[in-house]
Amino acid sequence: MQGQARLAAGRNEEGAARLSRSHSLDFLRGLAIVGVMAIHVSQSFPSNIRAVDFAFMCGWTGVNIFYFVSAMTMCLMWTQRVEANPTRKFYIRRFLRIAPLFWLAIPLYLAVNGMGPSANAPNGIGPLQVILTATFLHGFWPDSVNSVVPGDWSIAAEMIFYLVFPLLITAFGSRRHLYLALAIALHLVNVCLFKPWAFALFSAYYGPGHEAFVWTALHLSFLNQLPVFLVGCALFFSLRDGFAKSDAAIVAVFIALSFVADRATISHEFNYLMINLVLGALVAGCIKLAIRLRPVEALGRNSYSMYLSHFAVIYGLRQIWPLADGLVSLLIAYSVTAALSYLVARASWYLVERHAQALAHRLTSAAPDRSPLRPNIAAAATGMH
């Protein structure tokens, strides 16, 4: 509790006020879900126009925007709340935010997609994959990533980040250089040691012909994603307290080390790092300029349930779609997917999410240590992550 108070007391007031506005964070979440839906819609309803399909495929970067916003939101809420037992309450809030809908998605997608062999589970889905997914450990084993719930690789990374976040922010506080240093260290460990070792191990385990599957699973693995969250934490404190020349110097070192490591190994993650740094700059720019757009913000406030449901919506549309593939089909399919996913999200809010959040509030808001968190700040945490 004292550590939280010190973090809150040390903030730059202008930066804190800018970050406390939920509109830009909601806008970024909305932008992220717009991108995520774009790539998946284009995979099922291609326009067959190279430039258009490429633009839609770039929507994969939406997940990484979610990562940045998630890290910044967690830092924001941790520094704004001053309460007893903050770590326990943090875990309760995050678990009840993510788990209920995710657990409902497991039987739904098992019923839709079945349990047979697939691109994400060469040997099919069994109890191991289901248990790992239900316990949010699916990011640790290749054929449990994306095999039970589509897109669940990002939720695995999110939950691991939530697990370690209280430890990180308690140890590092607002010293953003420490977050960047750890991001560099994890990135180099992944590129130079873990990914080559794990690729050889799992390629032998799954046998010839599954190398591409293993490579993709390792790219999606938690160790490859956690540096993005750490950069997001550093970005939060840089925006709050002001940027310094040392920030740019550390990022330059990060780029140089990653380039050298990438050329010395077969991991090929340098381009991914550069894309994430560009996305981080985009996130920072949107927050500094206080960009907002109400329709996109509405999507952002419902982005988590839209993320989980849009795969099922696309699957259902594909079964009944009357139009031939083409640009018109793609645009209509995208509009219908967005609209239906939003409606599902609103329904899930009334049926599931609001009850889970009410329970979280009851479990974490005992009268003696009720949080002084303002409503507009709390709203910033109601998006996907």
Mean pLDDT of 20-30: 84
So what's the pLDDT on residue 184?
A: 97
Mean pLDDT of 44-48: 96
Least confident piece of the model among 51-55, 248-252, 374-378: 374-378
Tell me which long-range contacts 358-362 makes (C-beta under 8 A, separation of at least 24).
359/96, 360/92, 360/93, 360/96, 360/97
Please say if the pLDDT value at position 369 is more than 70: no
Higher pLDDT, 243 or 375: 243
- What would the pLDDT profile of 179-195 be if each residue is shown by its tens digit? 999 999 999 999 999 99
Instruction: Give the confidence band of 14 by pLDDT, cuts at 50, 70, 90.
Output: low
- What would the pLDDT profile of 289-329 be if each residue is shown by its tens digit? 989 899 999 999 999 999 999 999 999 999 999 999 999 99
* Cβ-based burial of 212 (10 A; exposed 0-12, middle 13-18, buried ≥19): exposed
Is the distance from CB of 357 to CB of 95 less than 8 angstroms? no
- What is the DSSP secondary structure assignment for residue 324, as one 8-state letter? P
Question: Would you list the domain boundaries of the chain?
Answer: 2-381
Number of H helices, E strands in the chain: 19, 0
- What is the DSSP secondary structure assignment for residue 52, as one 8-state letter? H
Helix, strand, coil shares of the chain, percent, nearest 5, are: 80, 0, 20
Please say if the pLDDT value at position 373 is more than 50: no
Instruction: Give the confidence band of 161 by pLDDT, cuts at 50, 70, 90.
Output: very high
CA 118 to chain centre: 24
Rounded to the nearest integer, the mean pLDDT of the chain is: 90
Structure tokens at 254: 């990060």
So what's the pLDDT on residue 254?
A: 96
Please say if the pLDDT value at position 372 is more than 60: no
Structure tokens at 268: 């090929």
Claim: this prediction has a pTM higher than 0.85: yes
CA distance 32 to 343: 18
Tell me which long-range contacts 315-318 makes (C-beta under 8 A, separation of at least 24).
315/112, 317/44, 317/45, 318/44, 318/45
- What is the DSSP secondary structure assignment for residue 144, as one 8-state letter? G
CA distance 41 to 57: 9
DSSP string, 155-170: HHHHHHHHHHHHHHHH
